[in-house]
Amino acid sequence: MNYWPLIGILVIVVGFLIRLNPVLVVISAGIVTGIAAKMPLLEIFEVLGQRFLDTRNLPLILLLPLGVIGLLERHGLKNQSQKLISKMKSATTGKLLIAYLFIRETSAAMGLTSLGGHAQMVRPLIAPMAESAMENRFEDVPQESRDKIKAMSAATDNVGLFFGEDIFVAFGAIIFMQSFLKASGGFDVAPIHIALWGIPTAIFAFIIHAYRIHKMDGSMVRELTVINQKAREAYKG
């Protein structure tokens, strides 16, 4: 098996590390991969051109949902989500993020990876709701605390997606692992077995990250309790 075409991956890694133009890096990686695979130069450019034509509508597919989400947010999506959570007095930031972690990981395990995401779910809905849950308990929530909530909301989406999609049998990485095991070691492992062994990892990932969320929530409550108490004392004084 010829492993030289994998040098294209190295080109991408190095290119991104030194912050070159992404388009230039990807095209260069394609050319290097083709040369390593002993393809004629004309055929390399032919393949690159064909792939460009095949995916020319991809930017529209990616950017259109972002535009729709931005329009909804401008017309009150974020405010409505905050109002909704403000009516749920028992909701806390920790409970909300743990619930989202469960939904994100479960849906990703079923192949619904587009159900969440930073642009379409975390920024307009999850992060504002998590902030509002903290505002239900404290009048004064500093910007530093708000930033921590936003960061944990984004991290929760990442963890749920990353470990959830490894359970989905049709996920590309599972097919890649199955092919790699067969080609490198002669291990003929069924994709369903690889997916099933991803379940324990996903469970532990959920437990560990849920604990991190709970710990952050408790720590933030203690900090904000002190801050708000001092603010009330200063106001009375």
Q: According to DSSP H, which parts of 19-110 are helical? A: 22-36, 41-54, 58-74, 77-86, 93-109
The pLDDT score that the predictor gives to residue 102 is: 96
Measured distance CA(30)–CA(111) in Å, rounded: 29
Measured distance CA(92)–CA(224) in Å, rounded: 14
Quote the pTM value.
0.67
Kindly list the domain boundaries of the chain, sorted by start residue.
1-56, 65-236
Q: Which residues of the chain have pLDDT under 70?
A: 1, 51-89, 235, 237
Measured distance CA(196)–CA(167) in Å, rounded: 6
Reading the block at residue 50, the tokens are 């064909």
pLDDT tens by residue, 161-220: 999 988 887 777 777 778 877 877 788 888 888 888 889 999 999 999 999 999 999 999
The pLDDT score that the predictor gives to residue 199 is: 92
pLDDT tens by residue, 36-46: 888 888 888 88
The pLDDT score that the predictor gives to residue 69 is: 58
Query: Minimal CA–CA distance to 160: which of 206, 213, 210?
Result: 206
Measured distance CA(182)–CA(176) in Å, rounded: 10
What is the number of alpha carbons within 13 Å of residue 27 lying toward its C-beta?
A: 11
The pLDDT score that the predictor gives to residue 34 is: 86
Measured distance CA(107)–CA(164) in Å, rounded: 7
For residue 145, count other CB atoms closer than 10 A to its CB.
18
